[in-house]
Structure 1
């Protein structure tokens, strides 16, 4: 039977909540700016045998406990490595969605020896390359953001389907937590550092992403030395949910576990 653990571990100065399921190559799932460790339920179900999928709560997310001080994407990248240490993992594959992809980029740049490979899903190399809609969403209340999210996350067909539940991908935070998270997001800038990412990289991006425009994916493909781009035609920002089967299949191929079933 596949194990599925949920617990907290001391990692650096944080008590980090995480979910740990499956056996095989370690794949650390890095959630988006407004989400938490539970974001990957749909994708996790499709990852299948041969992968140990670990999702965790970043600062000011879920059940993680952290000091009430500002931080940057670089700090979040270092937190990620502290978690690998706490879990006894010398290296892991990273999969980050949206702002989680930003954190994963910084981790791969700052700690190349700890990153076996990188999967960047619906993300950007720079907050400045995001659309104006990101600022609009960040300024909304939690309730208004839940209402507005569907059209940004999913295609019309996806919104009509059973998987289009964007409210489930958003976590509630205190105003102070939200301020720190949003400030960190606005500090994301790694365009000039992409050439220093040495890990094999798979970029999965919807061609109609209205929050992280497709141009950012093309830039990452050009500048990251060992990168390949997998476009999802017509996909919007929530491709890891709406197109979870496609994303999971590409991840399995990329990690070389497709033969495990």
Structure 2
């Protein structure tokens, strides 16, 4: 198996931080609004053989270097496709969590020929469908957000596990970077376009997600033509971490990757 690599790749007008490892079908992991490419460490370790897992830093995240101009989810979707170009990938499967799921949805609409399938985890088709707690969290300092996040991300059992084996889920940004990120998140609205998504889609959602309520998952299942919803009973917003074994197994089944994970 190819060793995981950490590097910067020139993609369009950006220098993009990338973790690229494994052999097999290409799966691009699209991180959430307050995270970076390292968010997927737990999930990557469980995806197993037969998958080339590629996680990257979006604008104003991790080690990616980008212009200081504002941007939209559509721009982030185009950035993702520019990364595919830079990596020499004609098509790839996309797995997006939270706001990363929004970026993946926009990519599937704008570049349907480049998206082999979608896995949408703990995400929503519209910022307006998020709970009021999202605005509360975005208004906090990084330290306050770190303190509040576990209650939104993990079940009580998951929170206990975090205390003994903490996993970093949030990344630090400058105020200017945070402003651009939050503005982009608030521009996410794709409900009217869901019916035009042609990629086979797996939706994975916790029934007790207090940031991206379950109603959003039900709406995506109804409107995306070739969509399947799998629920994690009692799961909250951080299901890709707390229930990584389950999510990885479902992803492997969905991608048709057989054999040992």
State the TM bucket, normalised to the shorter chain. Answer: over 0.9
Moved over 4 A (4+): 162-167
Match of 1:182 in 2: 182
Post-superposition CA distance 1:115-147 (Å, at most 9, x none): 000000000000000000000000000000000
Matched-pair contact (CA < 8 Å) for 1:73–1:102:
yes
Q: Which residue of 2 aligns with 1:34?
A: 34
Question: Shift in Å at residue 161 of structure 1?
Answer: 1.3
For 1:187 and 1:18, locate their aligned partners in 2 and report how far apart those are by CA, in whole Å: 25
Give the root-mean-square deviation of aligned CA atoms: 1.2
In the alignment, what sits opposite 1:208? Answer: 208
Asked whether 1:109 is paired with 2:133, we answer no
Structure 1 pair 138–165 and aligned structure 2 pair: CA distance change class (3 A): farther
How many pairs are equivalent?
Answer: 261
Q: Where do residues 143-222 of structure 1 align in structure 2 (5 Å cutoff)?
A: 143-162=143-162, 168-222=168-222
Is 1:237 the counterpart of 2:233? The answer is no
* Unaligned stretches of 5+ residues in structure 1: none
Counterpart position of 1:247 = 247
Instruction: Judge conservation of contact 1:204–1:230 (CA < 8 Å) in 2.
Output: yes
CA deviation string 1:19-63 (max 9, x = no partner): 011100000000000000000000000000000000000000000
2:224 maps to 224
Question: How big is each residue's C-alpha offset from its partner over 1:59-94, in whole Å with a ceiling of 9 and x where there is no partner?
Answer: 000000000000000000000000000000000000
The residue number in structure 2 matching 1:120 is 120
Q: Is the 8 A contact 1:207 1:232 kept in 2?
A: yes
Distance 2:205 2:163 in 1: 18
Q: C-alpha offsets along residues 178-230 of structure 1, whole Å, 9 cap, x if unaligned?
A: 00000000000000000110000000000000000000000000000000000
Question: Could you tell me the TM-score, scaled by structure 2's length?
Answer: 0.98
Question: 2:250 & 2:171 partners in 1: Cα distance?
Answer: 27
**1:258 Cα deviation from its structure 2 partner:** 2.8
Kept in 2: contact 1:203–1:217 (CA 8 A) = yes
Quickly say closer, same or farther: Cα 1:80–1:165, change in 2 above 3 A. farther
Measure how far apart 1:164 and its partner are: 7.9
Equivalent residue, structure 1, for 2:98: 98
Unmatched tracts of structure 2, length 5 or more:
none
Structure 1 residues 4 and 220: CA distance shift in structure 2, 3 A: same
Moved more, 135-144 or 2-11: 2-11
Structure 1 residue 259 displacement after superposition: 2.4
Q: For 2:168, what is the secondary structure of its paired residue?
A: helix
- Aligned residue in 1 for 2:61: 61
